[in-house]
Structure 1
Amino acid sequence: MLNHPTRLLFYITLMTGTLISVSSTSWMGAWLGLEINLLSFIPLMSNMNNQFATEAALKYFLTQALASAILLFSVITLSLNTHLTFSGFHDNIPLSTAICSTLLLKMGAAPFHFWFPGVMEGLDWFNGLILMTWQKIAPMMLISYVWTPNQFSFCIILICIITGSVGGFNQTSLRKIMAYSSINHLGWMLAAVLLGESCWLTYFGFYVFLSTSVVLLFHAYQLSHINHFFGLPIDNPVLKLALFCNLLSLGGLPPFLGFLPKWIIIQSLVAHHYTALVTLMVIFTLGALYFYLRMGYSAFMLTHAHPKWLPLTPFSPVLQAVTLFLLSLSLVGLAIGPLLIPIL
């Protein structure tokens, strides 16, 4: 992770760019923070020993540069009529739509997701986790300033959920499956933005927690494809249970903690009379749960071959303790969830 001293500098500037965008009071400052964040993440993605990582970094740079150019053009056009603040442009539908589209492109939401699965495929698990979680904070915070309940926002929410569900059906790469899962969760987060800042931050927090727990196990055993589950070198059945329970929790299966944020969003959307929207969201999210079950069911419920020459992956006691702690939270978290809803 920190095998080179300059990587620590890039991690610091990566976080600084996001904080500048989040705390900025003008669009120009937000654009500046996004650029600092972009230029810090590119060296972290690049790896001279892996041509796929270099290709992913190039794809990411070209896509983000296009989005930044369109965002800067929209901001300059906005400044001709109003000041460079986050207010005063809701009546200008073309400009607000352009700004929303560029921010959706930056975080890989459908239908602007053409780059996201390909970039995820070329990254290691740690950089992929950053791309799925931290890189979405600044665009989500900025889009919350311009996101209003209209036909455009409803269409984007449904397209994200449908794309995230259907896109992962025929995938065998775990990185692409996690990418389409992220697109599906983005649809729920964009719906939560319509309800307020606390709702989408709550959902995002649960998503980061569950994604981190899953990626931690993927990285520990160097899993890249679905067929790796059949020869999973886990002697401890509790750790195998942890992996598949966390996968089902990320899919939002009701007995697990991952259903709690969806429960909060469903209840809030119904309270705001978005009944048709939430019905379609729940129906299409079942597709995402299917490919989580496809990953876990066959490897966990059926017998599989385990070659005796397969070396065991070292699993440190600390990482094992963290994994079991995450499993316990995923299993019993929903039981204490109703106590937290009044606080939220």
Structure 2
Amino acid sequence: MNSNKMFFLFILFFSTLISISSNSWFGCWIGLEINLLSFIPLISHSTNLFSTEASLKYFLTQSIASINFIFSILMKMTLMKNFEMNNFISIMINSSLLMKMGSVPFHFWFPNISEGLSWFNNFLLMTWQKITPMILLSYYLNKNFIIIIMTLNTIIGAIGGLNQSSLRKLMTFSSINNLGWMLASILISENLWMFYLIMYSFLISIMCFFFQLLNMFFINQLFISNINYSIKMFLLINFLSLGGLPPFIGFFPKWILINFLLSMDFFIITFIFIMTSLIILFFYIRIIYSSFLFNYINLKWMKIFLKNKNLIFINFLSFLSITGMILSTLIFL
């Protein structure tokens, strides 16, 4: 981590605070712009052509969303008294914020850009970069529009990941699916959304840390890697937790959200959410199969040695994934 990166990371975190603590839409827009201009230097490397392309694509899409956002704000200010336009303006503002966070139907940039980023930058894109648009969205929700969007998010996030061989694209489509759950949670309460985001960030950080440690980017790398058994167990536990399988901690926020959705009589939407989670679990299990059940080519030169402190850290996180659910059920009793 050099001083430049640390500086831009600080500005990135600071810009989010500017947006969410601003008392005007214009202040929110300025925060979003600072966020964009601090994230681009983090993702662009002059040596890597993919990251340069990704940073350019990211800049273009975010600029279009920002232009749309400020145009909608100006329309809102000038046409405040016209109630018929209010619905249209709220959809416009919501759409520009959905584009910012890579939601359906503006999600096409998201998998393409993630392919050119490192695992750490992917982690930032999938977690921190969603905070500002989500909170701004909660200020001016168009409920019916968001209900349609969150259902589409879960469906497309599940279907899009089925034919992917790139781990980064798989995690991106998984993120789109989880975005649907987050939009549902923000309809209910901001505290529930915050809880879901923290849990999701925890789980996705473990996966990104793991893939960064082993330098893995594609499913076929799991076939040839001579991984030791404790790491295979870790991979199994954390993927099932991220998919939301009941004994693990990843199920806990989904469980709470399902309860709330059922109490609000969203039966069909809850059914769609659960069914798409099963599809997500299917392609997670496909990754686990690759590392678990196949006979390996034991190449003498292909050995992965992890430092002891990293291995202990990984085992501790896996332990949290398993025991977290038991602790969370005790809270309900």
TM-score range, shorter chain: over 0.9
CA drift at 1:306: 2.3
Tell me, yes or no, if structure 1 residue 9 matches structure 2 residue 7.
Answer: yes
Determine which of 153, 156, 159 is the counterpart of 1:160. Answer: 153
CA drift at 1:283: 1.4
Distance, in Å, in 1 between the alignment partners of 2:296 and 2:31 is 49
Which segments of 5 or more consecutive residues in structure 2 lack a partner in the other structure? none
Distance, in Å, in 1 between the alignment partners of 2:281 and 2:273 is 13
Any conservation in 2 of the 1:173–1:226 contact (CA below 8 Å)?
Answer: yes
Tell me, yes or no, if structure 1 residue 132 matches structure 2 residue 126.
Answer: yes
Distance, in Å, in 2 between the alignment partners of 1:5 and 1:174 is 30
CA drift at 1:101: 0.4
Distance, in Å, in 2 between the alignment partners of 1:110 and 1:89 is 27
Determine which of 49, 60, 63 is the counterpart of 1:62. Answer: 60
Which segments of 5 or more consecutive residues in structure 1 lack a partner in the other structure? none
Which residue pairs with 1:281 in the alignment?
A: 273
> Quick check: 273-282 or 286-295, which moved more?
273-282
**RMSD (CA atoms):** 1.8
Distance 1:18 1:234, change over 3 A: same
CA drift at 1:341: 5.2
- Structure 1's consecutive aligned runs of 4 or more residues displaced over 3 angstroms after TM superposition are 88-91, 339-342
Tell me, yes or no, if structure 1 residue 335 matches structure 2 residue 332.
Answer: no
Aligned pairs, number? 333
1:24-48 CA-to-partner distances (Å, cap 9, x unmatched) read 1111111000000000000011001
Which residue pairs with 1:299 in the alignment?
A: 291
CA drift at 1:287: 1.1
Which residue pairs with 2:109 in the alignment?
A: 115
**More helix by proportion, 1 or 2?**
2
Which residue pairs with 2:168 in the alignment?
A: 175
Distance, in Å, in 2 between the alignment partners of 1:255 and 1:25 is 42
Which residue pairs with 1:308 in the alignment?
A: 300
1:181-232 CA-to-partner distances (Å, cap 9, x unmatched) read 0000000000111111011111111100000001110000000100111122
* Counterpart residue identity of residue 58, structure 1: L
Distance, in Å, in 1 between the alignment partners of 2:84 and 2:125 is 30
Distance 1:272 1:341, change over 3 A: farther
Any conservation in 1 of the 2:223–2:294 contact (CA below 8 Å)?
Answer: no
User: Residues 232-247 of structure 1 correspond to what in structure 2 (within 5 A)?
Assistant: 232-235=225-228, 237-247=229-239
Which residue pairs with 2:70 in the alignment?
A: 72
TM-score (norm 2): 0.96
Determine which of 224, 230, 242 is the counterpart of 2:223. Answer: 230
TM-score (norm 1): 0.93
Distance, in Å, in 2 between the alignment partners of 1:90 and 1:282 is 36
Partner-residue secondary structure (3-state), 1:230? helix
CA drift at 1:234: 2.4
Partner-residue secondary structure (3-state), 2:57? helix
